[in-house]
Amino acid sequence: MGTLDGRSVGFIGLGLMGRPMAENLLSAGARVVGHNRSRAVVEDLRAKGLRPARGPGEVAEAADTVILMLPDTDTLEEILLGDRGVVASLRADALVIDMGTTAVMPTRRFAAAVSDAGGHYVDAPVSGGAVGARDAALSIMAGGIPEAFERARPIFEVLGRNVSHVGDVGAGQVTKTVNQVIVGLTIGAVSEALVLAETAGVDPARVRDALMGGFATSRILELHGKRMIDGDFEPGGRARTQRKDMFEAAEFASALGIELPALNLNLELYDRLLERGWGDLDHSALYRLIKDVQKP
Amino acid sequence: MGTLDGRSVGFIGLGLMGRPMAENLLSAGARVVGHNRSRAVVEDLRAKGLRPARGPGEVAEAADTVILMLPDTDTLEEILLGDRGVVASLRADALVIDMGTTAVMPTRRFAAAVSDAGGHYVDAPVSGGAVGARDAALSIMAGGIPEAFERARPIFEVLGRNVSHVGDVGAGQVTKTVNQVIVGLTIGAVSEALVLAETAGVDPARVRDALMGGFATSRILELHGKRMIDGDFEPGGRARTQRKDMFEAAEFASALGIELPALNLNLELYDRLLERGWGDLDHSALYRLIKDVQKP
């Protein structure tokens, strides 16, 4: 439980994740100036003490720290580098923190632009979803120079529970990519394993119980395995988002000149899942695809 | 800690796993009659109270419960069904417990043979390795009719910590196969993810630390991820054994008429690992293969 009494924080992107994060900053005593494309949420948050800004530039003019929580890399680029964007209006020595999931190569470009404008950049993507955001229980994986990370740390400690400084600028997004690779592949592993159990006539719920605690234990077996067994594919994390993350990870691996065969296969499987129209199901619906491909 | 005071138990296969298991049974007060191909261990155990038998048949003549802990399916078949084997000398109403890792289809055949001879069969493979065997901390996944499982339970409670009755005969071996599939595929996931981090210039140890606690958490990331980072491939579980388990799982899936693409790919990768002469390294050496295939 950190306290941010009086610290001026700008917040751009008040959606599913950003809104509860901004609320937690307000509760910790920060003076938050915020902007969001859709205005309704801004008006809601005004009642809780948020000061509305008319655009990204106005946020940057008003705050020494600017947090960005945007849906994708293209939107982030527009908000950062566009006319009346954050960089054009940046205060001297300002701290810019990208907490969204952003491709690694553009992250390095954005950091350079912020640096050229006299500011500092930290990439700090999160995992834990909307529930983690609400409960201030996010895992935060941050990249940046140590001084910038230390300035950001009190904010991270308000927003999350598991705060890691993993390396220089870009290292946070690399870690998030790696996280998504493990999540996608582990969902694939549990999917095939449970389909095997079920086809062999063994109750997958009893198999899951028996495996928990041993070498096969994972958070995915625990949470997503249960969803598979219950046939409950309400998202959580959407298959569409998982597919995008695997695609970006595969692109990144390509850019680095390496080949990751299981990642490529998993991306292919998520592609097929989306072709079936299941993109808005939970990412654990990969189990349903593995069952479905068995049909003649 | 169960107690087996005076219960007569036969034990065949006193190797890396079987020996500490038999010692735990002796400590719990069982009267153990044992047999092993290599005799030295039998003599060692005689000092701890084990009664040596000259062969599998003599074990079966002497005990109401016969435990089998053998290295593979072929050896088990010989010991069970061969001349002077267990089945030929089985006591009426005897309980036969296979605690090795055995293919599923033969398991059903062995159970039928034991049943025809008037006995009962429980397949109860374990996970936890030699350390789990020594510490009486094995996970035990058992298949069989409820009455047979209940007769076996006091023994399981002496040998392990996490005892599950997963279904009828064969269900234990199905669960073990499923366990191995998840283990192999999760090792693959962590391998590719850490190679990606490293190639991107981010310290894989810090990545691993950052991911522990989130959705990417698994026992494999914890234990085998550490081995990968340390470059310490002393076995634990051998790559050769993992490859065999993946092969048997793929064969079993084929026999069931299903296709599991990630399993097939993982088997291929372990095949390549063995071709490089790394079969006696730990199964986490898959990481080394993923690094190696990047070389031009």
Residue A2: predicted pLDDT:
52
Confidence of residue B296 (pLDDT cuts 50, 70, 90): low
Give pLDDT < 50 ranges for chain A.
1
Q: Do A188 and B185 touch (CB under 8 A)?
A: yes
Quote the minimal CA–CA distance from A246 to chain B in Å: 11
Catalytic residues of A, which ones?
Answer: 176
Residue A90 per-residue DSSP state? P
Domain at B8-167, CATH class: alpha beta
Q: What is the predicted pLDDT for the residue at B295?
A: 75
When scoring B101, B104, B215 by the number of chain A Cβ atoms within 10 A, the one with the most, hence best to mutate, is B215
What is the rounded average pLDDT for all residues in chain A? Answer: 96
CB contact under 8 A, B215 and A220: yes
**pLDDT score of A128:** 87
Tokens 């048997």 belong to residue? B248
Alpha-carbon dihedral of residues B266, B271, B273, B276, nearest 10 degrees?
A: -160
Contact map slice: B 191-210 vs A, CB within 8 A: 192-197, 199-203, 206-207, 209-210
Within 8 A of B217 by CB-CB distance, chain A residues are: 218-219
Please write down the HEC assignment for all residues of A168-184.
CCCHHHHHHHHHHHHHH
The CB-side HSE value for B161 (13 A sphere, CA atoms) comes to: 14
Mean pLDDT of the B30-58 span: 96
B250 touches chain A (CB under 8 A): no
Q: Is A167 helix (H, G, I), strand (E, B) or coil?
A: strand
Mean pLDDT of B215-220: 95
> How many angstroms separate the CA of residue A291 from the nearest CA in chain B?
9
Mean pLDDT confidence for B196-202: 97
Chain A CB contacts of B186 below 8 Å: 185-186, 189, 216, 218
- Whether B210 sits inside 8 A of A164 (CB atoms) is yes
Domain limits, chain B: 8-167, 174-292
With beta carbons under 8 A apart, name residues in chain B contacting A181.
189, 192-193, 196
CB < 8 Å to B214, chain A: 127-128, 139, 162, 179, 219
pLDDT band at B236 (very low <50, low <70, confident <90, very high): confident
**Does A137 contact chain B (CB < 8 Å)?**
no
What is the arithmetic mean of pLDDT over B116-134?
94
**Cα angle B260, B264, B269; round to 5:** 150
Average pLDDT over residues B110-136: 95
Burial status of residue B124 (CB atoms within 10 A of its CB: 0-12, 13-18, 19 or more): buried
CB–CB contact B213 A162 (8 Å): yes
Looking at chain B from residue 40 to 69, which residues have their Cβ under 8 Å from any Cβ of chain A? none
- Separation between Cα atoms, residue B50 and residue A289, nearest integer Å: 53
Name all contacts of A42-49 with Cβ < 8 Å and 24+ positions apart: A42/A14, A45/A14, A45/A19, A48/A23
Which of B195, B223, B252 is facing A258, going by the closest CB pair?
A: B195
Q: How far is B55 from chain A (nearest CA, A)?
A: 34
Query: How far apart are alpha carbons A115 and A2 in whole angstroms?
Result: 28
Closest-CA residue of chain A to B194: A178
Which residues make Cβ contacts (< 8 Å) with residue B191, sequence separation at least 6? B228, B284, B286, B287, B289, B290
Tokens representing A260? 């990751």
- Name every chain B residue with its beta carbon within 8 A of the beta carbon of A167: 201-203, 206
Element housing B129 (H / E): helix B129-134
Beta bridge partners of B97: B67, B122
> What pLDDT score does A296 carry?
66
How far is the alpha carbon of A270 from chain B, nearest alpha carbon, in Å? 13
> Given CB atoms, is A271 within the 8 Å cutoff of chain B?
no
| Mean pLDDT, range B74-101, rounded to an integer | 97
- From chain A, the residues in CB contact with B190 under 8 A are 182
CA B110 to mean position of chain CA atoms: 18
Confidence label for B130 from pLDDT (cuts 50, 70 and 90):
confident
Q: Mean pLDDT, chain B, as a whole number?
A: 96
The contacts of residue A109 (CB under 8 Å, 6+ apart) are: none
Homologous superfamily (CATH) of B174-292 is N-(1-d-carboxylethyl)-l-norvaline Dehydrogenase; domain 2 (1.10.1040.10)
Query: Which secondary structure element, helix H or strand E, spans residue A96, and what is its range?
Result: strand A95-98
CA dihedral of B244, B79, B136, B154, whole degrees rounded to 10: 130
Test B182 with A216 for CB contact under 8 angstroms.
Answer: yes
Q: What is the mean pLDDT of residues B63-69?
A: 98
The confidence score (pLDDT) of residue B1 equals 44
CA B227 to CA B222: how far, in whole Å? 9
For residue A174, the chain B residues in CB contact (below 8 A) are: 196-197, 200-202, 207
- Are the beta carbons of A136 and A159 closer than 8 angstroms? yes
β-pairing, B126-127 vs B65-68, is unpaired
